Amino acid sequence: MVKALIVNSAATGDASVSRKLTQVFADRLKDHDSSAEIIVRDVGIEPLPHLTAETVGAIRGAASTEAERNALSLSNALIGEITDADIIVIGAPMYNFGIPSTLKAWFDHVLRAGVTFRYTSDGPQGLVKGKRALVIETRAGFYSEGPGAVLDTQEPHLRNLLGFMGISDVEFVRAERLALGADAAAAAIDAATARLAELAETELTLAA
């Protein structure tokens, strides 16, 4: 049985294209394996608290105050969702060429030294092993090539954050040109939907 953790981060609620596309992947996965388990963590609809002076110690394991204990327990729960999953599916809209602050806050809670990565004499080492990730990126404009490519700080950042934890098997699916007319948007969503259906079968095969 394959387990997928979906992390949605769009601020746009039901209108969100990335949220619809993560659901497409979940639905196709279920079509191919009815025993597939899907867990959804929606940090766009229910944002995580930012780390503050009262809570930041928790990500280094401190739990001497109630605020730290709550933050540590939240961080442990979020990391548990990752470690329980075979595939981490991230719905990532491009916000100001990067990722939404809601998604960044999720990474701030799950990237923990000694837990999801560690520093060694040979440099940092990811501790989250045996996972695959699928990142669905939605963008108003076009960044895959040409003059927009240099502005894309979304995909490299996501690759770095996942890779730092040890998740280097990452597939990116982009739905771009969403604000460049109805035809362009429909074509992008159709192409992403088709690719997600293919990937759902591949993931199933790998997990079997």
Ligand X SMILES: Cc1cc2nc3c(=O)[nH]c(=O)nc-3n(C[C@H](O)[C@H](O)[C@H](O)COP(=O)(O)O)c2cc1C
* Binding-site ranges for ligand X (CB under 6 A): 10-12, 16-19, 93-97, 138-141, 178
Kindly state the smallest distance separating residue 146's Cβ from ligand X, in Å. 13
Of the two residues 13 and 49, which places its CB atom closer to ligand X in the complex?
13
Question: Closest CB to ligand X among 96 and 205?
Answer: 96
Q: Pick the closer one to ligand X by CB: 91 or 116.
A: 91
What is the residue type of 172? F
Nearer to ligand X, 40 or 207 (CB): 40
State the nearest-atom distance from the C-beta of 93 to ligand X, in Å: 3
Which residue blocks in the chain are alpha helix, DSSP H? 17-32, 66-84, 101-110, 155-165, 182-207
Q: Are the C-beta atoms of 29 and 132 separated by less than 8 Å? A: no
Residue 135: closest CA among 182, 102, 180, 167: 167
Residue 146: both structure tokens together = 């040409």
With a CB cutoff of 8 Å and minimum separation 6, the contacts of 96 are none
Residue nearest to ligand X according to CB distances in the complex: 93
Give least dist CB 10 to ligand X, A.
3
